[in-house]
Structure 1
Amino acid sequence: MEFFTMCVLAAGIGMALGTLGTGIGQGLAVKSAVEGTSRNPGASGKILTTMMIGLAMIESLAIYALVVCLIILFANPYKDIALELAKSVAK
């Protein structure tokens, strides 16, 4: 059971770090966009468009982290090897 416990911990830590980086990146992007808009209100349309594209790119990091964590939890390629090893040790 240690293998599956470690898989759950790895998925949790991986998702936490992935979303932490995403949150920080999005916060910095929005901060910069607001500063740019306050300096030059006439360029707010271009700044908003660029910010939205950037936020979509940043958000993809969280989606990739989620996919990797779901693979670790539910489609782990080492699951069968770990189960066979556990059965052989139990005998």
Structure 2
Amino acid sequence: MDASAYKFLGAGLAMLGMIGAGIGLGLLFGNFFQGALRNPSAAKSQQTNLFIGMALTEALGILAFVIAIMILNG
């Protein structure tokens, strides 16, 4: 195999981080909505934690994307 095939393989493996971010966001919002339906009065106080968790999870997905692009261009 030539070097370009290894680049594509490495970029594909780096994109597995996007799968993890998608699963993480689904679990995060699903559990928040389940808890909000059980106790609606506490949902407002937990909304800040939801947004912080969402931002951190999404940042990891974006980092995986940036690393994949860097592998392809490097």
Superposition TM-score, scaled by structure 2 size: 0.87
CA distance in 2, matches of 1:58, 1:46: 20
**What's the counterpart of residue 11 of structure 1?**
11
Structure 2, unaligned runs of 5 or more: none
**What's the counterpart of residue 27 of structure 1?**
26
**What's the counterpart of residue 58 of structure 1?**
57
1:55 CA drift (Å): 0.6
Q: Could you report, residue by residue, the CA deviation over 1:20-44 in whole angstroms, capped at 9, with x for unpaired residues?
A: 1001111111111011101210122
- Please give the root-mean-square deviation of Cα atoms over the aligned residues, in Å: 1.4
1:13 CA drift (Å): 2.7
CA distance in 2, matches of 1:41, 1:25: 23
CA distance in 1, matches of 2:37, 2:23: 21
CA distance in 2, matches of 1:66, 1:19: 7
Structure 1, unaligned runs of 5 or more: 77-91
Matched, 1:2 2:2: yes
How many pairs are equivalent? 74
1:59 CA drift (Å): 0.6
1:7 CA drift (Å): 0.1
